[in-house]
Amino acid sequence: MPPPDHSISGIERVWNGGRVVPVLTIADPSAAIPVARALGRGGIRVLEITLRTPAAADALRAITDSVPEAIVGAGTVVDPRQAARAAEAGARFIVSPGFSADVAGACADASLPYLPGVATATEIMAALALGFDRLKLFPAAQVGGIAAVRALSAPFPEVRFCPTGGVDGRSSLEYLALPQVFAVGGSWMVPPDAVAAGDWQRIEALARSATGGPETAFA
């Protein structure tokens, strides 16, 4: 397997300093572009499109083509075929809920940074064995939240986490205050009712609050 671009330099070079990553499950591809633009106006450029809906690939491609300032990747990637399809749709990074050496290989083949998910010390050891030290902690809230980050960091001080799962506006601030956390992922800034109503101003305000703006409209 060729060495993947998996390190902090790989992820942060693509994310370009982005520390709050919306996890978007898009059912209607027509919403993809206005959601991405609203998030961008609120200061968020890094977007993860989950491959949980038939519209996901079209949404990823639409944002890539029409919102060039956005940095779009694919999430919920669980097998190499999904990784390859995401790369074809224009994904600039890949995220998984768990760790897969096969997905890591597909990402290496496509020269895409890979952020694998972990929930246990055993999974972290497996990821470290292949050189991955920037990991998604998932589902973060359910496996212990802040306490889990601190506990897992003790035996693995070289690891930095991106907690995702159960993260909201307030807990994101607590996570980001930890030196062991390099980013957070969540969907609180893109409420489904706001998307359904086309309330792009609300999404923009939530994005701005997530990135430290004056609004405090946490969902």
pLDDT tens digits in sequence order for the chain, 219 residues long? 434 444 444 787 899 899 999 999 999 999 999 999 999 999 999 999 999 999 999 999 999 999 999 999 999 999 999 999 999 999 999 999 999 999 999 999 999 999 999 999 999 999 999 999 999 999 999 999 999 999 999 999 999 999 999 999 999 999 999 999 999 999 999 999 999 999 999 999 999 999 985 444 344
- Is residue 94 within 8 A of residue 113, CB to CB? The reply is yes
- Determine whether 215 is an active site residue: no
Q: N- to C-terminal Cα distance for the chain?
A: 42
- Report the C-alpha gap between 132 and 128 in whole angstroms: 5
Global confidence as pTM: 0.92
* Token digits of residue 161: 């986490």
Which of 12, 48, 123, 215 is an active site residue? 48
> Please, what sign has the CA dihedral across residues 58, 17, 10, 105?
negative
- Determine whether 48 is an active site residue: yes
Which of 88, 136, 158, 204 is an active site residue? 136
